[in-house]
Amino acid sequence: MIRAPVIAIGLALLVSCVCLAKPNGSKNKKPKQVVPAIECDVRAGKVNLPEFIVKCPSHCKESKQQVYGTGVFASISSICNAAIHNGIITNSGGKVIVKKMPGQNVYKGSNSNGLRSLSLPKWRESFVLSVGKPKKGVIYPSTLFFTPSRPTYVKTNPPPFPTADCKVDLAFLMDGSWSIGKRRFKIQKDFLAEVAQVINLGVAGPMMGVIQYGDDPVTEISLKSFSNSRDVKAAVDKIAQKGGLSNVGKALSFVNRQYFSDSNGNRGAAPNVVVVLVDGWPTDKVEEASRLARESGINIFFVTIEGPDENEKLNVVEANFVDKAVCRTNGFYSLPVSSWFALRKAVQPLVKRVCDTDRLMCSKTCLNANDIAFVIDGSSSVGTGNFRTVLQFVANVTREFEISDTDTRVGAVQYTYEQRLEFGFGQHNNKADLLNAIKRVNYWSGGTSTGAAITYAADQLFSKSKPNKRKIMIVITDGRSYDDVRAPALAVHRTGVIAYSIGIAWAAQEELEYIATDPDKEHSFFVDEFDSLYKFVPKIINNICQEFNSQPRN
């Protein structure tokens, strides 16, 4: 008899419990994904997480932060601009998931979604992107952890520099000349020992070697001799002064020819860096040796101690030798030190610069390692309007390269029956001047002698090419040549010139193939109309970089 009331009371309690647990009938809420916002310039390598989600702001495309690669990006790329390039987000911004990957042997640049990415040789870390919608049950970190950008340490006990961002093959040229004296030579050794300690040497990070120079350079420590800071410090302590002159140019030539070799411990995927310590000034010339070293991919830093005063400058063998030796004269690659006793203060700024691998990009790349000659058809069939379109194409190709006397140089020849040198290699040593020079080229009008123009370009331009520069010729023509193109083309091919042929309208296909370097399909292009020339810009740049990146080099 009492069973029914008991059941009723139980049901009432159950209902009341349900109501208390779930007010208004709502369900238990899942933790909300907090998406940290980042700026356009944040690079994936600076975020110390294997996988994370971020929110990009709008208008990153206008920031022009660089991107390296296509699909898989080098970790020095802007996250947000890589996401735009990949089509994950638009220029209005949005959420994106970043996942780190091992480094690649090559990163191919491309034009995509209105944003140009660059090619790059090997890099230590990559990343891929996906739409910023986490999978069910996955919560990404709500806070980003950034790799520190600079070492922080006290003088008494400097901790090691973080090696994750500092994988470099580093060689010091130490001054062993008699002018330095025994006491200063000891200060120099103390400086090298402290650098070794601060930079925290190891096979996963920086490796360090030492060459002593005087009359002749001598390898004291190879890159593979020691893999930790303690052993390098002990080896530096044992170095004895050789004496002699301060032949820095001779030492740089030695480094370029012999030091950064596989047998000596060069790792290939790590940037090659040379730091030159100079007491006063060199006793030989450094410009040519430095240029050849830079064009082999070696980044050169100069630490000059107690440089010449006004009276001593007359004794300097080569004026402004530091500016002539480094790849940028913006002060990043040179550290003047007032006295030997102040040298220790240079440890921290030097280590910071050497480990800033993003800034070491002025060593040899596919965008700064060329002498490019444009051979432009100015015949009557082209016409004034179409000739301006050709010049715009030349400017668009040129704009992709890094232009200076130590980077890519551009020359141009216009031809009809005759030939005219419009400007030579190195005549315009910055991009703005070069683009203006292209714009000022006047249409000639006449016949079409492409073969003679190729020979002329070889004589007037490529005969003045610098050693170690990749020689590239781009021939643009709209018709059949009145002379033979095959023999002149073979002649320039034999000298190492990489030739591209671009034919428009009435150009002869067989002539384009004769002009082009093998394989023809990679170096020969044809369009029906001048207005379609722009399509070949990314193809040519991609091919130049792909060929460059496939070649063995430091």
Topology alike, domains 44-131 and 163-360: no
When the candidates are 1.10.357.10, 3.40.50.300, 2.170.130.20, 2.170.120.20, the CATH number that belongs to 44-131 is: 2.170.130.20
Tens-level pLDDT at each residue, the chain (554 residues): 444 444 444 444 444 444 444 444 444 566 788 999 999 989 998 888 999 999 999 999 887 788 888 999 988 899 999 999 999 999 999 999 999 998 887 888 888 888 888 877 667 789 999 999 988 888 899 888 877 643 333 333 445 555 445 888 999 999 999 988 899 999 999 999 999 999 888 888 899 999 999 999 999 999 989 989 999 999 999 999 999 999 999 999 999 988 988 888 887 667 889 999 999 889 999 988 988 888 777 899 999 998 776 666 777 888 889 988 987 788 889 999 988 989 999 999 999 999 887 677 666 778 888 999 999 999 999 999 999 999 999 999 999 898 887 789 999 999 999 999 999 998 998 899 999 999 999 999 999 999 999 999 999 999 999 877 899 999 999 999 999 999 999 999 999 999 999 999 999 999 999 999 999 889 999 999 999 999 899 899 988 888 886 664 43
Beta bridge partners, 545, equal: none
The amino acid occupying position 74 is: A
Compute, in degrees rounded to 10, the torsion defined by CA atoms 384, 378, 382, 410.
-90
**Residue 105: Cβ within 10 Å count:** 11
Superfamily per CATH, domain 370-549: von Willebrand factor, type A domain (3.40.50.410)
Instruction: Please write the tens of the pLDDT for every residue from 463-513.
Output: 999 877 899 999 999 999 999 999 999 999 999 999 999 999 999 999 999
Q: Where are the domains of the chain?
A: 44-131, 163-360, 370-549
The rounded distance, in Å, linking the Cα atoms of 125 and 146 is 15
| pTM of the full structure | 0.50
Q: Are 446 and 379 in contact (CB under 8 A)?
A: yes
Instruction: Please write the tens of the pLDDT for every residue from 378-429.
Output: 999 999 999 999 999 999 999 989 888 778 999 999 999 999 999 999 899 8
Long-range pairs, 26-34, Cβ under 8 A, ≥24: 31/139, 33/134, 33/139, 33/140, 33/142, 34/142
Query: Tokens at residue 471, please?
Result: 């020689």
CATH of domain 163-360: 3.40.50.410
